[in-house]
Structure 1
């Protein structure tokens, strides 16, 4: 049984038992809640303790990888510029679209109230600063204090400055430092896998509490969350077609036929990395020269996840909505910056492994509670499908766009190779 399935089953079982426990009317229910709540909290804290090391290490290795790729030439540089633009547009899409969707399709008031009561222990991790305070606080006076106080945005700024400075070092010390931070990433991922292995226990405990306090409305609220968050991911997924049409002059039908096998593989694997060979074949069908596809697509898989900002930020906005937190323009601006920045270099693994560590920094930067993430991780399996579909489609569209805008033309050898790839596919 897969990790995602075990966590989802733990959620359903925990909610169901919590609802049945309340229905039984036993005096033992409050005692059971008193035991389950700290168990779930400990599990969430175990995930939370990896956030700061991962954010720092991911940003440094991501910037280093981007700088290394940019040194390869004009094609790589243009690809990185396009990736950054798309990531920021993705984050802005969530800021504009998510509040609109929540206004058009609101969660039932009684369900929202019940869920707030179920997670009564959750609290904002900060307060929304004024614009002047935001500008003044964005540069940390003490980076260690910023890390210890979960001041994510100042920490991100320092880390970006550090990462860009690192790229100016001579090769030997630069590689030593990058290797050090890559090792931190690897160790943190091992720890996260350990924590997720016991994830069903933590999710079951928290789901039991939610079920006992919120009742059956919890199921409807989770379905509402899945539909709304998936919807904003679908928007970025569909944006791959206009990018291919306007950026690479590829007819929409041709683009659809070329990427169809990659989309089927994305559904079955939920991993962009596993789709790389299929994406190379799709690029060949679109007459993208092998020399260009061979450079840009591996870069895209390593450092570019188009749906990351929009869906990660959408989750943070949904939690704020869930808790009745008014989102000010400053909070949305902070969320956009955090969502667009922390996505660069994030690992391309199934969503359950990176869900909390990718979204918690955005929540913390905005002052939004992170406790609901421990429940929402259990239903990430559905939104993660749209994450992967969007990422794979955008990778191919961006590759075709960069190749065309960089003046790459398929020569006779490339055309022959592309034809063989098409026949082999």
Structure 2
């Protein structure tokens, strides 16, 4: 469903731009008034997406932390895998922020094209903080979580969600289970709402694109094309991380690892789903790399369930492109907050379909940087292209971790039990995890 929806949304973007440009050219008052009315429908659709951000992000963080803690407790092998996951995600986030900043310095967006894209998708930005570290540090903990949610203070929401999730894992089982179940229900409810809203995505994106074309003609097309090329390039460049990991830690297996990855990468390119690639990953890791049943039955399912290397890479690339478009200069504290938020939401959003995870992951990062989130509705329409390279990078990183982690000396839990614990409700078909 979501794959065909992506094509429809992309077609809606193109047709909306063309229709708006045509009305812009003829400047007929009746057509202009009608187009502005249609654009209001797009704003309504966007607001319906925005209303799910805070409850969805908070619930996903709580349930994600609880699921990851349960999976990490299954044995030493899982614990070592989680250490590698964390290290790779941190390096990936730093790479993503640095790579897109370098690309934008070498190839800045044409001011006219950027203004054409942002001028028709207005949103409120948050001014960059000018306080120092001593003033910024106390703001990490929300004195009033409800007010933080109302003010879109996303870093405070993320911090509270992480603390809440970790605290919930310390409760007795009879108390923890219904609490985590409640937030799972909230998250699933928000996802149902987002799915409903996304069904109308072709209409919403068409309406917003119509407004862009109405005001600027086709001037925004250049910025959108540059966005797709840049985010795709940064995401493809992230492949150096899993290959580098294997080269450094298992240099003698590097050639075999490259051969083992190739068919899985081709499958990821066509399916855009890490979950759909899991059987192929297990087969190639076992047959080509000689991995044990513990590794294929523990590490790979865990990786698919809770590890998405390209999430912070691509999400930060998108967010930095947006602040470049709007000419914003976030403070060092906001940039650090955005990197931290990108790492946190990469765990919470694992297993969601691409369109849902894009908005659920990107909105908190944009809010942390003080960037408007309204433009995400337009960028969602072209996400189908970078999403291909997200999945290719993720399956490569999953196999790299499986290649470098060593099984424990002591017997581990049965692979089937760990697989069920890791994948329980975390992934679903169509997810670009």
When the two structures are superposed, what TM-score results if normalisation uses the length of structure 1?
0.91
Give the Å deviation of 1:327. Answer: 3.3
SS at match of 1:63: helix
Give the Å deviation of 1:66. Answer: 1.4
- Given that 1:288 and 1:403 are in contact with CA atoms closer than 8 Å, whether structure 2 keeps it comes out as no
Matched, 1:335 2:338: yes
Instruction: Select which of 52, 55, 76 maps to 1:53.
Output: 55
Matched, 1:128 2:129: yes
SS at match of 1:344: helix
Matched, 1:358 2:361: yes
Give the Å deviation of 1:346. Answer: 1.3
Q: 1:366-381 residue pairs with structure 2 within 5 A? A: 366-381=369-384
Aligned to 2:173: 171
Give the Å deviation of 1:349. Answer: 3.7
Rounded to whole Å, the distance in 1 between the matches of 2:303 and 2:10 is 30
Aligned to 1:276: 278
- Given that 1:319 and 1:368 are in contact with CA atoms closer than 8 Å, whether structure 2 keeps it comes out as yes
Mark the runs of 5 or more structure 2 residues left unpaired by the alignment: 412-433
Matched, 1:90 2:92: yes
- Given that 1:302 and 1:345 are in contact with CA atoms closer than 8 Å, whether structure 2 keeps it comes out as no
- Given that 1:128 and 1:367 are in contact with CA atoms closer than 8 Å, whether structure 2 keeps it comes out as no
Deviations along 1:186-242, whole A, 9 cap, x unmatched?
222211111100011110000001112222222111110001111111121232111
- Given that 1:267 and 1:388 are in contact with CA atoms closer than 8 Å, whether structure 2 keeps it comes out as yes
- Given that 1:126 and 1:364 are in contact with CA atoms closer than 8 Å, whether structure 2 keeps it comes out as no
Give the Å deviation of 1:134. Answer: 2.3
Distance 1:248 1:208, change over 3 A: same
Aligned to 1:247: 249
Rounded to whole Å, the distance in 1 between the matches of 2:313 and 2:132 is 23
SS at match of 2:163: helix
Deviations along 1:109-155, whole A, 9 cap, x unmatched?
22122223222x32204543523442121111011111121111011
Give the Å deviation of 1:95. Answer: 1.9
Aligned to 1:238: 240
> Alignment length, in residue pairs?
407
Mark the runs of 5 or more structure 1 residues left unpaired by the alignment: 410-425
Aligned to 2:228: 226
Give the Å deviation of 1:68. Answer: 0.8
Deviations along 1:298-346, whole A, 9 cap, x unmatched?
1111111000011111111111000111233222111111111111131
Deviations along 1:247-299, whole A, 9 cap, x unmatched?
33354332121112211111121111111111111211211111122111111
| Off by >4 Å, runs of 4+ in structure 1 | 406-409
Rounded to whole Å, the distance in 1 between the matches of 2:166 and 2:369 is 25
Rounded to whole Å, the distance in 2 between the matches of 1:101 and 1:275 is 31
When the two structures are superposed, what TM-score results if normalisation uses the length of structure 2?
0.90
Give the Å deviation of 1:407. Answer: 6.4
Rounded to whole Å, the distance in 1 between the matches of 2:395 and 2:252 is 17
CA RMSD between the two structures: 1.8
Rounded to whole Å, the distance in 1 between the matches of 2:382 and 2:87 is 29
Aligned to 1:103: 105
Rounded to whole Å, the distance in 1 between the matches of 2:248 and 2:170 is 36
- Given that 2:128 and 2:334 are in contact with CA atoms closer than 8 Å, whether structure 1 keeps it comes out as no
Rounded to whole Å, the distance in 2 between the matches of 1:385 and 1:398 is 21
Aligned to 2:67: 65
Rounded to whole Å, the distance in 1 between the matches of 2:23 and 2:403 is 56
Distance 1:151 1:312, change over 3 A: same
